[in-house]
Amino acid sequence: MKRQKRHAGAGFTLVELMVGMALGLLVMAAMASLFKSGLNATMMISQRAENQENMRAAMELMVKDISMAGAGLPSGGIQLPTGAGNNGLSKYGCDQTGTCHVHSFTYPTTPNDNYMYGIIPGYKNGVEADASIPAAPAPAINDSIMVIYADYNFPLFDYNGTFVAGSKGASMTVAAIAGDTPPPINSAGGIQVGDLIMVTGAGLTGVGEVTGLTATTLSFANLDALNINQSAAASGNLAAIQTAAAGGTVSLIRLFAVTYYLTVPPAGQTPRLMRQVNGLTPVPVADDIINLQFAYDVYNSTTDALDANQPDVFGSGESPNNVQKVNIVAMGQSILNNGNKSQNMYLATSVSARNMAFRNTYQ
């Protein structure tokens, strides 16, 4: 009998196994790389979306305030205390603790001394205590801006004020105009210590900082946090209005003097955009804002033309009263980090200061 030969089962050689393993590793490496790229792309999109949402919220709030600049103010602004007996320049960007949050915090002396304009540019004045922001792009220029407008949400205009005799503008009683029933001035959302009140009477307009109040009285004592209540000044104060009004009533409107600036919190926290109103405590608007710059389109009364993109209005000899448009550039850094990597993003917009002085070049 012939014996049938037995054949070994088919298999892979060592070389074939090594080649197969190498190909498998290459495929796995490609898949891992693709997966990592997908994760990185997802993180980048999340960072950008979060950064954009954060910055847009901040930008919209600034645009709203800046678009209102000068609303309700007399044409050209308001003279603050000046002349013999004045106690120095008035302040902005300061709170009731005496802390001033921008390093140049007095009202300008040019072109007018101690004058309240609808917009006060703060070139290179935008970081509290001149703190360093390493993430800001070089050259690290950060600006602040202060805008002033009348507040018509709380109906203080439904009240008449009467100065207390002999108070030199430091105290007045308030009473609702006949037929009107506004909420009490000290109700929720009403007047607070540190608020600015525009007072108009006998053809004069002045501003006082509230230092105390009840439901029927307002006090404007000297040595206020913003150095606005200067009863001894020759003019530009409430004492001058009281003298001119001779016991008559005066009209009242609350002003909002809003300052935007950056601050660097302690303990390694990231920079944030702050909003400070009148003499009140500032509040944060957005985190991780690392750069804030403003430029202004200013009407030039000498050349009868528009000087565009002026970063330093005072330095160029322009008047803030002639600002027509504000150009804003802000840079944000993503709050989410991918390792040590953050996404930075610029947002830019322009705001027409429609309530400021307007010049028609066709006239």
Q: How confident is the model at residue 9 (pLDDT cuts 50, 70, 90)?
A: low
Spatial CA neighbour of 80 closest among 148, 145, 126: 148
Peptide bond into 271 cis (omega under 30): no
| Mean pLDDT of the region 280-303 | 92
Is residue 23 included in any domain, yes or no? no
Per-residue pLDDT tens digits for 102-159: 999 999 988 788 999 999 999 999 999 999 888 888 888 999 999 999 999 999 999 9
**Residue predicted with more confidence, 331 or 211:** 211
Lookup result for tokens 């954009």: 52
Question: Angle CA(98)–CA(104)–CA(106) in degrees, nearest 5?
Answer: 70
With respect to residue 96, please indicate whether it lies within any of the assigned structural domains.
yes
Domain that holds residue 188: 48-352
Mean per-residue pLDDT of the chain: 88
**pLDDT one-digit tens code per residue, 11-61:** 778 887 888 888 888 888 888 777 777 666 555 656 566 667 778 888 999
The structural domain count of the chain equals: 1
In a domain, 31, yes or no: no
pTM for this one?
0.86
Whether residue 6 is contained in a domain is answered as no
Place of tokens 């209102």: 68
In a domain, 43, yes or no: no
CB atoms within 10 A of CB 255: 21
CB 347, CB 314: distance < 8 Å: no
Report yes or no: 325 and 351 within 8 Å, Cβ to Cβ.
yes
Q: Categorize the per-residue pLDDT at 215 as very low, low, confident or very high, splitting at 50, 70 and 90.
A: very high
Structural domain includes residue 160: yes
SS3 at position 24: helix
On whether residue 26 sits in a domain, the answer given is no
153 occurs within a structural domain: yes
Containing 28, the helix (H) or strand (E) segment is: helix 14-67
Cβ neighbours, 10 Å, residue 101: 20
CA dihedral 357, 358, 359, 363 (to 10 degrees): -130
